[in-house]
Copies of this chain bind each other. A is one copy, B any other.
Amino acid sequence: MSTTILTGDRPTGPLHLGHYVGSLRQRVALQQTHNQFVLIADLQGLTDNGSNPQKIRDNIPEVLADYLAAGIDPNLTTLCLQSALPALAELTMLYMNIVTVARVERNPTVKNEIAQKGFARSLPVGFMAYPISQAADITAFKAECVPVGDDQLPMIEQTNEIVHKMNSLLPAPVLRHCKAMLSDTSRLPGIDGSAKMSKSLGNTLHLSASEETIHRAVSAMYTDPNHLKVNDPGQIEGNVVFTYLDAFHPDKDKVAAMKAHYQAGGLGDRVCKNELETCLQELIAPMRERRAMYMQDKGELMAMLKRGTERAQGVTQETLREVKVGLGVPVF
């Protein structure tokens, strides 16, 4: 049997090229060889949008359209909705009793996010508990691999702690330890040169970006601020255009040659940007078109999600049943 993978997104906005490089591209490849579940984590999306539920609701079809546009095939990948899988909430409730408040507060990922989001005293209980909910997601699917960025490694560690502790309470182990599958591509920077492409920084390129938006984004892209004349030697490090060429250009040799030329001097930013723009236009155009087509029938998108969720119901309910039986919780 092929290895089970769980991955997913919080439906807080349409996906962008950062997602494409960091996860979507990988999922399209993995669905050929793995038993892949992709979870639309709407409950997790609500942990810091509890008072703004329409944002989550509205973005579910957006994210689904992004998935399909990027090449995720609902016949190869099980697409499912977190809130429609009660076993995930039920496992969370059970796990919450074997994790201390001190332990979740010590989770570095959560600590950073709490600081970033400026929660202070207004931290919702659901946000504090989300590592436990995520452990419920991963274990409910008996996922062996979880594709994550390196900032998410503490979440995998915490999940495996819960697996260990819960299994020790059962007559025989039920839950499976999971491994992080680190993306081989480093994080895509924002078009402005920020470390991360992020909606809140306004430095993204969406899969729905128009020709004109792509053109403007590439034109405004951060290069080497000291590369003033074409003949000056230019710097590659921190030069977003080259980072993007690395990430997206299909011809690696050509990019290597361009880099050498740029470093030696004589290759202008405009030429590099044109090369990148062509490449991005070619990448995004078919995704944009497919995406627009899918978005014309949100009802069919949701029906597809419902079908995947029904498939996911079986595996998650079975895990819950096994945990309950092991704990002695009555199963009716």
Contacts and interface: CB of A to CB of B under 8 A. Distances in A.
Interface of A: 42-43, 46-51, 53-54, 56-58, 60, 81, 83-84, 86-87, 89-90, 92-94, 96-102, 104, 121-129, 132-133, 169, 302, 305-306, 309-310, 324, 327-332
Given A84-B330, A96-B124, 6 more contacts: A53-B329, A86-B87, A96-B126, A97-B126, A102-B121, A104-B125
A128 B126 contact: no
Contacts of A81: 330, 332
B93 A122 contact: no
A48 B94 CA distance: 11
A43 B93 contact: yes
Contacts of A57: 327-330
A132 B125 CA distance: 9
A46 B99 contact: no
17 contacts: A42-B329, A43-B93, A50-B97, A51-B98, A53-B329, A57-B329, A84-B330, A84-B332, A97-B125, A97-B126, A100-B122, A100-B123, A101-B125, A102-B122, A125-B128, A305-B330, A306-B332
Contact of A93 (B56, B126, B305, B310): B126
B328 A53 contact: yes
A102 B114 CA distance: 14
Given A53-B329, A84-B330, A332-B306, A129 B125 contact: yes
A317 to B, nearest CB: 10
B86 A86 contact: yes
A314 to B, nearest CB: 14
A169 B96 contact: no
Contacts of A132: 125
